[in-house]
Structure 1
Amino acid sequence: MKKVMVTILSLGVLAGAYGFAFGVPDQISHIWSDAPAEDAGPPAGAAAGPPGQSRSTTVVLAPLEERSHTLVLRTIGSAVSLRRADVVATEAGEVVQTNLRANTMVERGDVLLRLDDRTQRLSLEIAQANRDQAQATVTRYETLNNNGSSVVTDVALSEAEVALRLAQANVGLAEVALENRTIVAPISGRLGLSEVSVGDNLSSGDTVVTVDDTTTLLAEFEVPERSFGLLAEGKPVFITTPTHAGQVFEGSITAFDSRLDSITRSVTVQAEIDNAEGVLLSGMTFAVRMLEETAALPVVPATAITWDRGGAGIWVAAEGTASRVPITIRYRDGDLVWIETDAPIGAQIVIEGASKLRDGAQIAVAQPAEGQGI
């Protein structure tokens, strides 16, 4: 008997706890109250309706719209001059003159440096004298031969002509050797820093200075594998640099690699940037941005999407009820989500209150707040 009383008391405590936490069920409250169940009003939080109708959920609706999405790729790169050259000494010797001031603009052919050329000038004079002597011999032999003299044979004349050709070639070699003592700018551009000064002795192969033609820069950057589809020759790119905050420079893609890097899983891209004003310098670090407009896709607020075991979905309203339609999420941008769905464009979708819905649930439509919608 004691066990029975304990059991009844335990059940009473559980019933009281349930009623305190969840409220008294309608059927029991109708029994306790004098009023019949048919006259009882709707439960708190439910919309009023005719007797026997299930409770409705208040939601906010908006038509399903579609619009394109702007894909934005951001990456970091650096730039070099499209045309650049390292000026290298081809001869050894002592420097006797320099025009190597850094950041000076030079034209192709301008003299940058001269080496001691006294030996080469003397060699040229010797070669020229030998040529003149060989020329005089040939001229004399030809004159005698034309006058019918038998003193000069055809063999002697031929040998004199060969000697003249050799002498002329030696003059050419001496002129080249003399020209090599003067180093000129191979391209037009801006000079870099140089450590060469008058009195230095250069060896063949020593780098004298670099020349950068910065009128056009070549930006090089990496694009991840997932964004490879954005690449195309001629596609515009937008470039910024901390040196010129707020200023955007436009370029275009000229080339990209034919394979991905096996470690970074990215592809190297090159783009040309017009720098006719000389604002940018070779070696600068750039923030690169590329844009791509997608085809029009359905777009919904993030609040319209719910999740279950099957994945993401939206609620479509029709004739006072809501049904769930599965979706595939394509892009996100702030509070908007671009999706793929079988729901037709223009259909009324739930953008507020979707988390409280169940399939076939009755809905009551509330007016959206000002500025609310897709």
Structure 2
Amino acid sequence: MRTWKQIVFALVIVAAAAFAWARFYPGAPEVLARWGLDWAVAATPPATGDKAAGAAQAGRDRSSQVATIVATPAGTATINDRLQAIGTGRANASVTVNPYSSGRLAELLVESGSHVDEGQIIATLDSETEIIAQDRAKLALQDAQSKLDRVKSLRASNAATPVAVADAEVVLAGAQLALRDAELALQRRSILAPISGTVGILPISAGNYVTNQSTIATLDDRTSILVDFQVPERFAAAVRVGAQLTATPIANPSNAYTGTISAIDNHIDEKSRTLLVKAKIANPADSLRAGMSFGITMKFPGDTYPAVSPLAILWGTDGAYVWQIENSKARRVPVRIIQRNTETVLIDAELESGDMVVTEGTQSVSEGGEVRIAGQDQRAAKTAEGS
């Protein structure tokens, strides 16, 4: 068979299939009308004979029948306005204590787990050399003071020049600075606690040689616990410093603590699309530790939407919709699903609280068709009897 014959044959098959679809498919006229092909609907010959009469009679029967359905009133609900996240706790302040200089660790004055105050001595280094330097500086200061006194007495009798007095004063000032330097060097042989807190496990013992890079102890201020957690991007605009939250230890969910947001990062992480937030939780009983994991819960004011039963949601070619009952007639209402909950679906639609929405029998409902709500007659009769 030649190519042109094959093409003609294929076109004939396609035309026959299109004619059959336009003639027999129930929704074909509406589709052709949306495509602007009303002439194709008009050109389609009407059905003839008994079949056409039977179809028309069936259509009249369906239009004249009243569909019995089950309907429930639409309600209202607030969109989920709760933020839940997992955070990691750390101490309000944590310091690693290192000595200022090198030397042999002479004594540790604290134990692991003990509480220390700011400025308290926690360890000392050997200080014989510094003591000697301090004593030498004291002697030098005394000698400089004596020389200044002699020069001043000579100056009173004009036996010394003003320059000699000035030189003696300079020597005295240098001796005073040397003594202060020796005292500071000796003072720094005692290692002080920079903050008030609890001592961790001591990594070193007395007698070891240490440098300014050696860790003597770690101190944690646990009067409050800081919790770092990530907030989804959609909550970034709602989070504020000072906002309250609830923190629940993952290991002990029966206890809940109230805290406040203390700091918010200045940018959203590009990889996780989250915002870093820091919260502060009071710890007066010292029951919380750094490194604990917390479940963070925050509540925000949410928007209110109509709420319907999940059975009421139907889908068509143009999206989701529900059947609303007005004056015993059905009306198709397009909806946009906002959130699915356990028992209801929050939607964005032209519905108000109390509007009746079809939940069962939707297959019998058509646009503008009359419907009867099942059980409505019995309820009306009971109401009349009671009155």
**Range into which the TM-score falls when normalised by the shorter chain:** 0.7 to 0.9
Determine the structure 1 residue equivalent to 2:122: 112
* Deviation for aligned residue 1:298: 1.6
Assess, with a 3 A threshold, how the Cα gap between structure 1 residues 133 and 89 changes in structure 2: closer, same or farther.
Answer: same
Matched, 1:142 2:152: yes
Aligned partner of residue 95 in structure 1, secondary structure: strand
Aligned partner of residue 195 in structure 1, secondary structure: coil
| Matched positions, count | 319
Alpha-carbon separation, structure 1, partners of 2:371 and 2:308 = 19
Determine the structure 1 residue equivalent to 2:385: none
Determine the structure 2 residue equivalent to 1:60: 71
* Deviation for aligned residue 1:356: 4.7
Structure 1 runs of 4+ aligned residues shifted over 4 Å read none
Matched, 1:288 2:296: yes
* Deviation for aligned residue 1:341: 1.0
* Deviation for aligned residue 1:300: 1.8
Does the 8 Å CA contact 1:70/1:291 hold for their aligned counterparts?
no
Determine the structure 1 residue equivalent to 2:181: 173
Determine the structure 2 residue equivalent to 1:84: 94
Answer with 272-281 or 159-168: which moved more: 272-281
**Residue 69 of structure 1: which of 71, 79, 82 is its match?**
79
* Deviation for aligned residue 1:225: 2.4
Assess, with a 3 A threshold, how the Cα gap between structure 1 residues 101 and 367 changes in structure 2: closer, same or farther.
Answer: farther
Assess, with a 3 A threshold, how the Cα gap between structure 1 residues 354 and 121 changes in structure 2: closer, same or farther.
Answer: farther
- Alpha-carbon deviations, 1:28-54, whole Å to 9, x = none? 9xxxxxxxx9xxxxx9xx9xxxxx931
Matched, 1:360 2:368: yes
Determine the structure 2 residue equivalent to 1:125: 135
Alpha-carbon separation, structure 2, partners of 1:317 and 1:123 = 99
Matches within 5 A, 1:287-306: 287-306=295-314
Aligned partner of residue 334 in structure 1, secondary structure: coil
Does the 8 Å CA contact 1:303/1:354 hold for their aligned counterparts?
no
- Alpha-carbon deviations, 1:115-162, whole Å to 9, x = none? 0011101110110111111112212322343xx312121111101000
- Alpha-carbon deviations, 1:211-268, whole Å to 9, x = none? 1111111111122323333322222222111332311112222222222222222221
Assess, with a 3 A threshold, how the Cα gap between structure 1 residues 355 and 329 changes in structure 2: closer, same or farther.
Answer: farther
Assess, with a 3 A threshold, how the Cα gap between structure 1 residues 249 and 353 changes in structure 2: closer, same or farther.
Answer: farther
Amino acid at match of 2:330: A
Matches within 5 A, 1:1-374: 53-62=64-73, 64-145=74-155, 148-354=156-362, 356-367=364-375
Does the 8 Å CA contact 1:58/1:353 hold for their aligned counterparts?
yes
Amino acid at match of 1:55: V
TM-score w.r.t. the length of structure 1 is 0.79
- Alpha-carbon deviations, 1:100-127, whole Å to 9, x = none? 4222111101111000011101110110
Does the 8 Å CA contact 1:60/1:367 hold for their aligned counterparts?
no
Answer with 251-260 or 167-176: which moved more: 251-260
- The structure with more helix, counted as a fraction of residues: 2
Does the 8 Å CA contact 2:338/2:348 hold for their aligned counterparts?
yes
* Deviation for aligned residue 1:55: 3.5
Assess, with a 3 A threshold, how the Cα gap between structure 1 residues 97 and 355 changes in structure 2: closer, same or farther.
Answer: farther
Specify every segment of 5 or more residues in structure 1 that has no aligned partner in the other structure, as ranges: 1-26, 29-36, 38-42, 47-51, 369-374
Alpha-carbon separation, structure 2, partners of 1:58 and 1:130 = 109
Alpha-carbon separation, structure 1, partners of 2:290 and 2:94 = 10
Amino acid at match of 1:205: Q
TM-score w.r.t. the length of structure 2 is 0.77
Does the 8 Å CA contact 2:306/2:351 hold for their aligned counterparts?
no
Aligned partner of residue 184 in structure 2, secondary structure: helix
